[in-house]
């Protein structure tokens, strides 16, 4: 179990991801982004934004002109776009496949958007597209509809007895597989 270490080695931290996507959002929406705008949008202090942006400038992801207007470098744009797309995909997967309410799906997607690999995001995208295009066997469609119904009505505290038993079964199966 070494996956947790990936958190520290991720190219951008959760905070940095939000700064990049916020700058991109402000540029798209208003045509400019300043430290005060980013701070207001994220609900944090200008001091915090300035300190975070210093690191992002040093890494060549954020640029600042003489009027203190912020922009993103090509690499910054690529990363911000990637994070946004991952958020959209994960949110759609949680909402459309598992029937998670959109608001919770968005919050959960936001928590992992900068952590999941490009490979995983691509796979999620392909799966969603296949379903969108109807390239899946009919039983899967029926299964997804069933999932949506079950998830929308479920408000129990996690983990439910079923989920706990199932995870134990999965772990047991995995241990048996590793022992072989």
Partner 1 sequence: MTQGISRKEAIDRLNGLLSEEMEASMRYLHLGMMVQGLDRLIVQKVLQENLEETLEHSEQVAEKILQLGGCPAPKIRVEFEEKRYSGKEALQEALLFEQAALDGYRDLLEHVDGGGDVILEEFARQQVSVESEHVAGLKMLLEE
Backbone angles phi, psi at 3, to 5 degrees: -60, -35
Q: Assess 107 for contact with partner 1 (CB under 8 A).
A: no
CA 55 to chain centroid, in Å, comes to 22
Q: Assess 43 for contact with partner 1 (CB under 8 A).
A: yes
Nearer Cβ to partner 1 (54/141):
54
- Please report how many Cα atoms fall inside a 13 Å half-sphere around the Cα of residue 45, on the Cβ side: 3
Q: Assess 4 for contact with partner 1 (CB under 8 A).
A: no
159 Cβ partners below 8 Å, 6+ apart? 167
Residue in 6, 30, 32, 47 binding partner 1, rule: CB under 8 A: 47
| CA 120 – CA 109 distance, rounded (Å) | 13
Residue in 6, 7, 30, 36 binding partner 1, rule: CB under 8 A: 36
Q: Assess 10 for contact with partner 1 (CB under 8 A).
A: no
Residues binding partner 1 (CB under 8 A):
13, 15, 35-36, 43-52, 54-55
């Amino acid at each position: 179990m070494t996956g947790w270490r990936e958190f520290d080695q991720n190219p951008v931290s959760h905070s940095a991801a939000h700064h990049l996507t916020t700058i991109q959002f402000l540029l798209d929406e208003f045509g400019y982004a300043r430290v005060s705008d980013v701070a207001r949008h994220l609900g944090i202090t200008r001091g915090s934004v300035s300190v975070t942006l210093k690191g992002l400038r040093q890494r060549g992801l954020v640029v600042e002109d003489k009027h203190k207007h912020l922009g993103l470098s090509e690499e910054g744009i690529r990363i911000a776009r990637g994070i946004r797309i991952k958020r959209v995909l994960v949110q759609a997967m949680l909402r459309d496949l598992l029937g998670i309410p959109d608001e919770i799906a968005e919050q959960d997607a936001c928590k992992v958007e900068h952590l999941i690999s490009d490979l995983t995001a691509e796979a999620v995208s392909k799966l969603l597209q296949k379903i969108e295009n109807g390239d899946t066997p009919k039983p899967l469609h029926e299964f997804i509809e069933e999932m949506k119904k079950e998830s929308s009505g479920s408000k129990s505290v996690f983990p439910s007895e079923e989920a706990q038993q199932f995870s134990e079964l999965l772990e047991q199966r995995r241990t048996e597989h590793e022992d072989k």
